[in-house]
């Protein structure tokens, strides 16, 4: 299996964001299976014609999102992203619920705010 990343230099999205989005999408879709070893930062940077800092920034964002994990000198691997993503989403939801309650919002108003935010994010 090879990691095929395409960076569009004409895109308004920054190269690191394009890289981050493509790896995240493939990992979540299962095209990059859990445990798949990603190329080194330098190796991928050379392959894509990017600065190593650009790839490192994308990897750092992916690791913060729980999509990948770095295992020291062993390399960087696709993590069990669904579990990490679910945990982060649950934590964000709990924080929102606490904040909404502290602000005195009703359950209905809080639910409406979440529904509006989801529509904006997902385009529905």
Half-sphere exposure of 83 (CA within 13 A, CB side): 6
Q: Tell me what pLDDT residue 23 has.
A: 95
- Helix, strand or coil for residue 11? coil
The residues with which 38 forms a beta bridge, in sequence order, are: 76
- Give this prediction's pTM: 0.66
pLDDT tens-place string over residues 33-88 = 888 999 999 999 999 999 999 999 999 999 988 889 998 889 999 987 556 667 67
What SS3 class is residue 10?
coil
């Amino acid at each position: 299996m090879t990691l095929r990343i395409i960076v569009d230099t004409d895109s308004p999205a920054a190269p690191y964001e394009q890289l981050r989005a493509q790896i995240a999408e493939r990992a979540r879709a299962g095209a990059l299976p859990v445990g798949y070893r990603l190329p080194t930062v330098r190796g991928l940077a050379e392959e894509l014609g990017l600065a190593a800092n650009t790839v490192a920034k994308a990897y750092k964002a992916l690791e913060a999102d729980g999509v990948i994990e770095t295992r020291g000198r062993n390399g960087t691997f696709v993590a069990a992203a669904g579990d990490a993503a679910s945990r982060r989403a649950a934590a964000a939801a709990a924080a929102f619920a606490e904040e909404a309650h502290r602000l005195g919002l009703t359950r209905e108003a809080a639910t409406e705010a979440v529904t509006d935010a989801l529509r904006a994010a997902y385009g529905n």
